[in-house]
Amino acid sequence: MLTTRREGLLFLSLVAVLAALSVSGAPAALRQKSLEPAPRYNGTFRIKGFLTPFNQVFDPAAPSHYFICEQLYDGLVKFDAHFNPMPSLAEYWTVSDEGNRITFYLRSGVRFHNGRELTADDVKYSLERLVKNRPGNTYYQYFTQKVVGAEEFWQGQASEVTGFRVIDKSTFEIRWTRPYFSGLYLLGMFYCKILPKDLLESQGRGFFNKPVGTGPFKFSEWIRSPRLEILGVALERNSFYFGKKPYLSTIEYSPHFTDDQFDEGSVHLVTVTSERNLRKRFQVLENDTLKSFFLALSCDIPPLNQAEVRRALALGLDKPRLAEAYDTLPFRHSVLDNYIPPLLPGFFPRAASPFTDPDTAKLLLDRLLPEGGRKSLTLTLLFASPRTEESSRFARELERQLEAMEIKLDVRYLRRPEDILEVRGPYLKFLEYNMDFPDPENIIVPLYHSRSIVNERNARYANPRLDGLLEQSEVEPSWEKRVGLFRAIEKILYEEVPAIPLFSERVRIAVLPQVRGVHLPAMGFIFLDTKDVWLED
């Protein structure tokens, strides 16, 4: 049986130790911290939104402004700065039945913005909503094979997901079809927020005209133009929030705020979109994300069906130049040599990352290919439509590097993902992958499992040993042993190179100097914890 109470006891012990320190005996760093200005309550924090046009439906289970959803709603669990699942609406949980059952004990006294108390019925309804077969819903795939009864509910053969069980009003249980120890990572994601069952049932889509959650901020009003067009949203502090209360009184969010307003100081945070945002008086913060980029290789088409050829090709690529070619003002890219993002707990940047050596790559390819095979080789670089300026720059840089190895490159844009099945010659598929939850399973299974649809439409790679290790990882209860299984999987991928890791994404944000308490969130800036943010006079 696993609980989170131990973490609470450790935290209380740490607080006691810190309280025992006198100011005179405290380290210099603590004394310096005491001289910093105390956080100031109130103030309106204005953010230039991340998406345009402005979507007025703040539904965590639909394409939305997830930053707003993070302020309005909570999930059962949340992530700390290192992707560890932590209590949120669930005060603690227990795992039993050899990992087949997880029981959540809800915090007492948590209320929605309209004053009604949160219950386990709300949890069941919100999670079943993710499994329901309705237009645009893709989240069902994370539950149908994992939760007892989810497949039948999705198929319309059952009126409920039997594996989502209300024990009493403050206790909720999930029964997995088999032990699923990464389930907590799934439940901590933005789409697993808990919404009020009664309001959604009575109001339908109209609920999102004035959404209600349990989050630290609540809906206040729409920001409108003089012609009454909705341009953004204003949120106000939830004074009855169950956790830490926000310092800010109001958040105003709109993608229609301008750089001019940022320059003059009436807007506090923007995504870097122009050189003006990079002026020295502004703070420019860079935040890693879980978006990774690869070149998937056609593992079923000669000569890329040979692992030795794929390794030689990877050796000849200059990744820093490819990353630089794909950079834009809002997004920078860091060279990636790992198949599993090293941001995840237990994974680290590859110590002996490969260097670039096109001359050695040419010698290896000459040994591996028939006489003159390298010089007659033409690879097709595949992108998803539409063509963009950064994809064109990347293609030109890759073409230059392959020319150094005397390999020709054609470029093609696919209108549909399934069009790749019509490509007959050897190809390199530019693959952008954004993880849906921070667990290595969520990148290895879709990209490299032999029966994955994503793999079928990219590398078409198959390795029975890798599939077997993935099956072991699904039921392994030990975190340390499970990490070891994924490290073994990554070792296979280093050897066989079904895809070449290229780079990971970093987002650049500009912030006014008077904004304090901005901490880089592990999940990216859309998950910014605004409870810590305050505005200095």
Asked if residue 499 is part of any domain, the answer here is: yes
CATH number of the domain within which 318 lies: 3.10.105.10
Asked if residue 156 is part of any domain, the answer here is: no
The pLDDT confidence band at residue 301, using thresholds 50, 70 and 90, is very high
| 8-50: pLDDT as tens digits | 433 334 333 334 433 334 454 444 455 668 898 999 999 998 7
Which of 327, 57, 88, 100 shows the shortest CA–CA distance to 215?
Answer: 88
pLDDT at position 55 over 70: yes
Taking the CB of residue 278, how many other CB atoms lie within 10 A of it?
12
pLDDT at position 440 over 50: yes
Instruction: Please give the pLDDT value at position 4.
Output: 42
State the alpha helices, DSSP H only, in 108-248: 120-131, 150-154, 183-187, 197-203
pTM for this structure?
Answer: 0.85
Task: Point out the least confidently predicted range of 18-22, 78-82, 271-275.
Answer: 18-22
Taking the CB of residue 79, how many other CB atoms lie within 10 A of it?
21
Q: Higher pLDDT residue, 371 or 392?
A: 392
Asked if residue 371 is part of any domain, the answer here is: yes
Instruction: Classify burial at 243, counting beta carbons within 10 Å of its beta carbon; exposed 0-12, middle 13-18, buried 19 or more.
Output: middle
β-strands 427-434, 378-384: how paired?
parallel
DSSP conformation class of 39: P
User: What number is the average pLDDT over the span 254-275?
Assistant: 90
Instruction: Please give the pLDDT value at position 31.
Output: 45
Instruction: Please give the pLDDT value at position 34.
Output: 53
Find the domain containing 367 and state its range.
288-506
The domain tally of the chain equals 1
Asked if residue 122 is part of any domain, the answer here is: no
Asked if residue 245 is part of any domain, the answer here is: no
User: What number is the average pLDDT over the span 75-88?
Assistant: 91
| 467-526: pLDDT as tens digits | 999 999 988 888 899 999 999 999 999 999 999 999 999 989 999 999 999 887 777 777
Tokens of residue 96, six digits: 């039993």
**38, amino acid identity:** A
User: What number is the average pLDDT over the span 440-444?
Assistant: 95
pLDDT at position 174 over 70: yes
User: What number is the average pLDDT over the span 335-351?
Assistant: 90
Cα–Cα distance, 391 to 408 (Å, whole number): 18
| 372-390: pLDDT as tens digits | 777 889 999 999 999 999 9
Instruction: Please give the pLDDT value at position 294.
Output: 98
Beta-bridge mates of residue 251: 45, 235
Which of 537, 533, 448 shows the shortest CA–CA distance to 245?
Answer: 533
User: What number is the average pLDDT over the span 289-307?
Assistant: 96
Asked if residue 258 is part of any domain, the answer here is: no
Asked if residue 170 is part of any domain, the answer here is: no
Asked if residue 160 is part of any domain, the answer here is: no
For 483, how many CA atoms within 13 A lie in the half-sphere containing its CB?
Answer: 10
Task: Point out the least confidently predicted range of 173-177, 287-291, 416-420.
Answer: 287-291
